[in-house]
Amino acid sequence: MSERRQRVSATVLIAFGANLLIAVAKSVAGAITGSASMVAEAAHSWADTGNEIFLMIAERRARRPQDAGHPLGYGREAYVWSMFAALGLFVAGSAVSIMHGIQSLVDPEPASNFAVAYVVFAIALVLEGTSFLQAYRQVNRAAKESGRDLFEQAIETSDPTLRAVFAEDFAAVMGILIAFGGVLAHQLTGSPIPDAVGSILVGILLGVVAIVLVDRNRRFLVGVELPPAARARVLVSLTSVPEISRVTQLHVEFVGPRQVYLVAAVDLLGDDTESHLGSRLRALERRIEASPGVVQAVLTIAEPSAPDLRPDHAPDPPSNERQTGPEVGAA
């Protein structure tokens, strides 16, 4: 888990450095050229730079250990601060770009020094492409671990920081291509209208990305259960524990990036007294909580008449899960 967090933190730092350099370059180029698309891209990069700060705060605050006031830890703080980042992208990136594009349509002004814009676009594409490649590798690695495709993993992952960096870097690369097209059309036609339209299109792109990120963070704040395939693996892991004969109820909910809260009703082997059962349940809970990603486990005794839960097409758990408990993996 710590290795994964370090990889994500490195991804955020790379994105921050790239966005800061690009934001300065685009701002200077926007002032020199007067291009509406370049100004929109500058607003985009400054929004992304500020968002990386929110994401770094999210990473730090979500890692705080459990305490008496927060027995499930602080993992959900990651979704709160990632929500702020998504709202910042919408306001500082999308709204500014659209408004500037509309203003340029109403009161168009010709641009100049197109060579400066093209140089900045080329530099920005290299830096943003490098940042996106880092995020792509991280998401692709997690996708292979969880058995999802790349974009499904980017949308469904419980890690809001990784999702935000991937989405923002993807939007940044697409935004550069859109802005380049607007500036090129402006130069070829002599009309500032394509440039202004490019600014509006960049704003719409950022708005769509921001809305998707806000919605995903909202869902995880409200509460998201483990995906069916991962839940089935957890069920197989529990039934593989020698002391557990069957499971009749299971609830596994995300309480942070790759962190879950597990509640299960189980039937233990043997015929112990109530006091002994309580001790055995507590011992099993501690063993399950030793598994990566399980913040807290609560086990209760199953009702005799309750039907068994059976995993549908669940793969066998790794051998190291059979004696400990479930692992969240790359969810």
CATH number of 2-222: 1.20.1510.10
Residue 255: other Cβ atoms inside 10 A: 20
DSSP 8-60: HHHHHHHHHHHHHHHHHHHHHHHHHH--HHHHHHHHHHHHHHHHHHHHHHHHH
pLDDT the model gives residue 326: 58
CATH number of 228-321: 3.30.70.1350
Report the pLDDT averaged over residues 88-93.
Answer: 84
Q: Mean per-residue pLDDT for 251-278?
A: 86
Q: How confident is the model at residue 272 (pLDDT cuts 50, 70, 90)?
A: low
Hey, which residues does 225 pair with through a beta bridge?
253
Instruction: List the chain domain ranges.
Output: 2-222, 228-321
pLDDT digits (tens, 9 = 90+) for 187-207: 999 899 999 999 999 999 999
Output the CA angle 6-224-154, nearest 5 degrees: 50
pLDDT tens digit sequence for 6-32: 666 777 888 888 889 999 999 999 899
Counting DSSP H helices and E strands in the chain, the numbers are 10, 3
Q: Calculate mean pLDDT across residues 147-158.
A: 89
What confidence score (pLDDT) does residue 37 get?
Answer: 87
Per-residue pLDDT, averaged over 101-110, amounts to: 87
Is the separation of the CB atoms in 111 and 195 below 8 Å? yes
The H-or-E segment that residue 309 falls in is: none
pLDDT at 108: 84
